[in-house]
Structure 1
């Protein structure tokens, strides 16, 4: 007996699954993805299976099967063999009238070679992007190496990235809070950058009381705590490494700079006292001066000409936690024995910055002792800045000057915890050299009329005519030679 209709229908469905299993995977329809990059792309997915169809579509599909069965019977007679039935159905469905929907046109077999593994894609999911075809598992992020499955991705340099990976690589992070720098209301990334250190940070940190190093001017990072000097100033750990903290520690440096002047035939005969002081003491001394020009907003040194009593730092303070403690000072009466009473320098600054301030203030003293009178701020501060810059250059780049760099050895046994051994022997670490270059950069790019424009005019004259001829011209005319 021939099989019943239900049995034949069941067999027919099994054969139908065999016939259309592969083509069901191979059919593709494009789904557009958004892309942050150079071009658009499409994910190609299989057509929906029979189980995904709506109820109406299923009914229509069943009717098509009935018609196909009837048509197969008319073409080949009553088929007792399943193979014959399947062949009849295949022939039936190959005619345009046997299916209501046009089949999806596939690309030629040889044209779909994966751009990732270089193997033929064949049937199934595939991706068309960047002028090539890809297996989904072969379309990978150039940064993390994992497949890109999201609906959006980024292109950079011809490579695909996850959006988050691309952001991690290319979106700038704040060097202070370590977060992605936010965009402004125009959708642009806006940040501040230090002109020398290239420290990039959110604009908000300029007004949120983030500490800034009083020496190198870098903002304090959230991951590193600066040392508070107790007078409103903060010092980064790199500047602290060579900081001079009391008057005794500074004496060797002071004498080495006097030797530097003598090496240029600018000997200072009088013994000018030198003291390291706190910020408040320096400000009080400035107020007691009748004459003189001071670099605002922060004055870090003073060539004193009036008799005053100054509170000097007697002993190096300790570092407790992130601040200095046990500060010991003593009042010192300064009597005027010549045109210069004393030189005051702010304590707690790195060796090279302390030396640059001393070189500047000693030039003020030399000018007064040699009879240079009534110079304008641009002339006097300008030539003093030139001597400061020259000393820094001899320390940072000693091979560029015939005058050897000064030798520095601390007389205080307690200085070993702050000063690197390289500094004591005259050799400098890379960070100390970088600090010296920064202090030179500060002098060269100062925007104030006296310290900035004055330095550039004085430096141009010294480079053209030499230091001695420039000083002689200042004595005679009160100005720089042109």
Structure 2
């Protein structure tokens, strides 16, 4: 590795997309590697539109076709195995995360609709919010407070020709404002653990709003929401590991790749470099580790900041 440029070189290496990585003018093989999956690939694939899985970020390997979703995203076959594709399919997961919140003495008293939606519907709903939260460039979840009509996915797509997801059915859902939260929207087609972490994040937005927390700074609100997503992921992976030695576990044993995928999603939260989501999470996580969740929430209620 060249310490000045950060580039990696070797004399022989295989590309996940092409068979061999070509040499550069110096006769060395320059390559890139995913920081978590350590998947090697040619530098050219970073800008030649080589497909990446929208969930795990791995590049599409040679002779392996990723699944094309109708909004342009690609999904690898391993992530497809646990992908949640429509609103009804997501309801058991919603119940699981509600139980997780209840176990932390943070029950949401109001019944909030949960809808799985396409990317376009998610973006339109975000634009319809008068007082929206800070969002990443690629929005995958929303906690709504306005009355809107949302196009939700009512029937999962099937796999058609050319590895395309086809015949997905949607229906309009009219949101009615009965409290400060009208619905939670989640992007369809993501694996269960990623869908769940996004849902745990958005449910924290709802919990803060329904409990009357003051208008918080972006890094505090998004940070504590990321903490909840991280805590849920950790609980899922811990219980899944324990269930591997127990035949009476309610959740059952998870496939090895799904466990690895969960670790990747935790890694994404931990290593996020953004000031709002990344720094906010690290400050919130440190506070919860030091003082506990309830004391941290009490401090946020009183001061609008994380305790140090």
1:53-88 alpha-carbon deviations (Å, 9 max, x no partner):
xxxxxxxxxxxxxxxxxxxxxxxxxxxxxxxxxxxx
Deviation at 1:297, TM superposition (A): 2.1
How do 1:225-236 residues align onto structure 2 when only pairs under 5 Å count?
Answer: 225-236=65-76
1:454 counterpart residue number: 280
1:329 maps onto 2:170 in alignment? yes
1:436 maps onto 2:276 in alignment? no
Alignment CA distance shift 1:238-1:472 (3 Å): same
How high is the TM-score relative to the length of structure 2? 0.92
Residue aligned with 2:55, SS:
coil
Runs of 4+ in 1 over 4 A off after TM superposition: none
CA contact (8 A) 1:213 1:234 kept: yes
Alignment CA distance shift 1:216-1:399 (3 Å): closer
CA contact (8 A) 1:295 1:451 kept: no
1:156 counterpart residue number: none
How do 1:166-315 residues align onto structure 2 when only pairs under 5 Å count?
Answer: 171-179=12-20, 181-315=21-155
Residue aligned with 1:190, SS:
strand
- Name structure 1 gaps, 5 residues minimum: 1-168, 405-422
Cα distance in 1, alignment partners of residues 89 and 214 from structure 2: 33
Deviation at 1:206, TM superposition (A): 1.2
Cα distance in 2, alignment partners of residues 313 and 307 from structure 1: 19
1:393 maps onto 2:207 in alignment? no
Deviation at 1:293, TM superposition (A): 2.6
2:7 counterpart residue number: none
Higher RCO, 1 vs 2 (CA within 8 Å, ≥6 residues apart): 2
Pick the aligned partner of 1:476 from 294, 302, 308: 302
RMSD value, Cα = 1.8
Residue aligned with 2:30, SS:
coil
Q: Highest CA radius of gyration, 1 or 2?
A: 1
Residue aligned with 2:29, SS:
coil
Deviation at 1:400, TM superposition (A): 9.2
How high is the TM-score relative to the length of structure 1? 0.59
CA contact (8 A) 2:134 2:218 kept: no
How do 1:127-138 residues align onto structure 2 when only pairs under 5 Å count?
Answer: none
CA contact (8 A) 1:394 1:400 kept: no
Cα distance in 2, alignment partners of residues 209 and 441 from structure 1: 25
Cα distance in 2, alignment partners of residues 284 and 426 from structure 1: 38
How do 1:8-157 residues align onto structure 2 when only pairs under 5 Å count?
Answer: none
Residue aligned with 2:24, SS:
coil
Cα distance in 2, alignment partners of residues 425 and 437 from structure 1: 18
CA contact (8 A) 2:84 2:192 kept: yes
Alignment CA distance shift 1:438-1:449 (3 Å): same
Figure out how many residues of one structure are paired with residues of the other and give that number. Answer: 293
